[in-house]
Amino acid sequence: MNTIVITGCSTGFGRDAARRFAEAGHRVFATMRNVEGSNAGAAGELRYLAEESDWALEVVELDVTDDASVRAAAEKVLSGAGAPDVVINNAGVMFVGLTEAYTPEEVHWQLDVNVVGVHRVLRAFLPGMRARGSGLVINVSSVAGRIATPFSAVYNASKWALEGYSLGLRREIAQTGVDVVVVEPGPFGTELFPQAPAPEDAEGRADTYPESVDQAYEGLMEAFDGMFSDPDVPTDPGLVVDRYVELVEMEPGTRPFRSVVGLDFGVAARNADDEKHDPPLLEAFGMTEFTTLRT
């Protein structure tokens, strides 16, 4: 049995992963923000399932953008179960809209959730995992962390940043026995797309762009809708949770850094090419020991 901490469990991959791991007999801390507020229904559903099924699942309040909230959640986990075996940084938000129209404050929020939030969570749990000498961190990125498209630049920036953060961290802590990997989902039928914040654009900047830009945006949204309604397109969220499970079950030292799931838009090939260049880079800096996880 592993102790598993998962962020962003109110919906989507996080909710499904919490159920799957708990059902398999793991001890799960399913975290989410606003447990007593907007996410009270989601929290109540998980608690009910845990009680009815006799799962070792506990719902914990955790807002990845709030230092105090992360510290309080970590204290609860660490005092009750010790350092987790697995941390899945699943919480995220996706901004889709005209890049210039987003205010600096809106961009800051996107980065705070998707990048700084991951850092807050790991600062809380890594010391215990390193002291034990083992553990797994799964950071949920996206194919958008390897490619960039119009209207997703702010989201792209957050996921590209998460990819760089994760790879650098993986190397730094490899000799402590803690592994870091990323999962890169393509488009999936979760709440991420329907809840994607568009820019407020109080200044009306979008109105000053050519009509063709607006048409391209509408075409992009229609294309995504078509993917989600096509039964032949791999958009079942369960595929991503399957990969979480596979990574947890793999022997330490055998896990790939990147795992693409679903429509990859050529990202798998790009990843394979990068894998050839990363080790020589570390060798050039005399850091070959950082390429291998200590087991």
Q: Per-residue pLDDT tens for 26-35?
A: 999 999 999 9
Which range, of 46-60, 137-151, 181-195, 236-250, averages the lowest pLDDT? 181-195
Give the pLDDT mean for 54-59.
98
Q: How confident is the model at residue 193 (pLDDT cuts 50, 70, 90)?
A: low
Candidates 159, 165, 217, 244; catalytic one = 159
Active site residue 155: yes
Give the pLDDT mean for 239-256.
97
Candidates 102, 152, 155, 259; catalytic one = 155
Domain ranges of the chain: 3-291
Residue 258: phi and psi, rounded to 5, are: -110, 140
Q: Per-residue pLDDT tens for 63-116?
A: 999 999 999 999 999 999 999 999 999 999 999 999 999 999 999 999 999 999
Q: Does the domain made of 3-291 have the CATH classification 3.30.1490.20?
A: no
Between 205 and 223, residue with greater pLDDT: 205
Active site residue 212: no
Q: Does pLDDT of 227 surpass 70?
A: yes
Candidates 141, 142, 152, 166; catalytic one = 141
